Amino acid sequence: MSMTNHKMFYVSWEAFHRASRELAARLLTGGYDRILAVSRGGLVPATILARELNIRLLDTICIASYQHDQQGALSVLKGCDWVDDSKLLIVDDLVDTGETAKVLKQQFPKATLATVYAKPLGKPLVDVYVTDIEQATWIQLPWDTELSYTAPLAEQQQLP
């Protein structure tokens, strides 16, 4: 999906942290003993979940499916060799088309897949998520943006 002609959804650090803690609350009684973060988007929520669920065993699986704002071919750059996935929590920032989720579900069929955001095409593959997002929406996550000065409206208007 390209950002051109799509809705934009901007997420602040505070909003992302709050949503990640809500995800942790939904997972609190799951009995997980380790977290697999999907790099890169899953790194931040995985860290928050690790703290909130008091889990110290974390690893990453590195999957690339986007080049800037375009979704492309899926590529597993680094795998994970954990065999027992019965108490495994896999964490990503969002599920979009579900292609990454399919790969994860094939490799770790007993694991729980959790995301902060879910779009309709990928939602059926996620076990737990917090926020529904329309398919044609591009999410601007806080690590992809920066704050900048905005002039007051009175200074932005051109007077005759």
**Catalytic machinery residues:** 92-93, 96
Give the integer Cα–Cα distance in Å for 53 and 21: 10
Closest-CA residue to 77 (of 38, 123, 44): 38
97, burial (CB in 10 Å: exposed 0-12, middle 13-18, buried 19+):
middle
What is the CB neighbour count within 10 angstroms for residue 131? 16
